[in-house]
Amino acid sequence: MTSILKVDSIQNAAGTAAMTIDSNGLVIPKKVAFQAIATDIDQSYTATDYAKVLWESVELDTASYWDSTNNRYTPQVAGWYLFGGQVRGNFTNVLSFIGFNIAKNGFTNTSTALSSQFQHNSDTFSSGEYPLPTGIIQLNGSTDYVEVFFQADENCILSDSAGRKSFFWGMLVHPI
């Protein structure tokens, strides 16, 4: 005699579903992830200060933590999050400096942000897509948030092409 145990979810000690098993037999863990995008929004940037990058829509938000009003992500699960993405820039003038920060709680200094900087002695950077820094930030799961900032040495336009999107993504990699 063969016994069959049918399970469609696995629960944690508190009785909350920790993962499910779909109709194909795939185990689907409970996950926290998002991706916001911007295409043809033509965000104007005035050199040299940091400016928050704007995002027009969300392609993925598994837990509804994306704040469209403030263009930021405020997860309600404490842990270590991995972030990355790219920003499209239309540079009328050729630039010698481009910088990005994925900032925690609005602070753009390097102790609280993931930073990347592209710099050259002469004008080198032309229109195109440039990568955001990729790395891990710890968030408290209640009030901490992240947002993207841009800086350059010339005026330019961000997210200027319907065919070449800017995107910002993140995912929980280790809850605490």
Q: Give the predicted TM-score (pTM) of the model.
A: 0.84
Beta bridge partners of 146: 73, 104
How many Cα neighbours within 13 Å face the side chain of 124? Answer: 8
Cα(9)–Cα(20) distance, integer angstroms: 4
* CA neighbor of 37 nearest in space, from 83, 86, 99: 86
Q: Which architecture, in CATH terms, is 32-175?
A: Sandwich (2.60)
Q: What is the mean pLDDT of residues 27-41?
A: 88
Could you tell me which residues come within 8 angstroms of residue 30 by beta carbon, excluding any fewer than 6 positions away? Answer: 17, 18, 19
Q: What is the mean pLDDT of residues 97-101?
A: 93
Domain residue extents for the chain:
32-175
Residue 117 pLDDT > 70: yes
Within its chain, how far is the Cα of 112 from the centroid?
A: 15
Q: What is the DSSP letter of 123?
A: -
Mean pLDDT of the chain: 89
Residue 7 pLDDT > 70: no
Residue corresponding to tokens 């540079």: 91
Task: State the CB neighbour count (10 A cutoff) for residue 11.
Answer: 11
What is the Cα gyration radius of the chain? 20
Residue 104 pLDDT > 90: yes
Residue 146 pLDDT > 80: yes
* CA neighbor of 144 nearest in space, from 109, 112, 110: 112
Residue 24 pLDDT > 70: yes
Residue 71 pLDDT > 90: yes
Beta bridge partners of 128: 89
Residue 3 pLDDT > 80: no
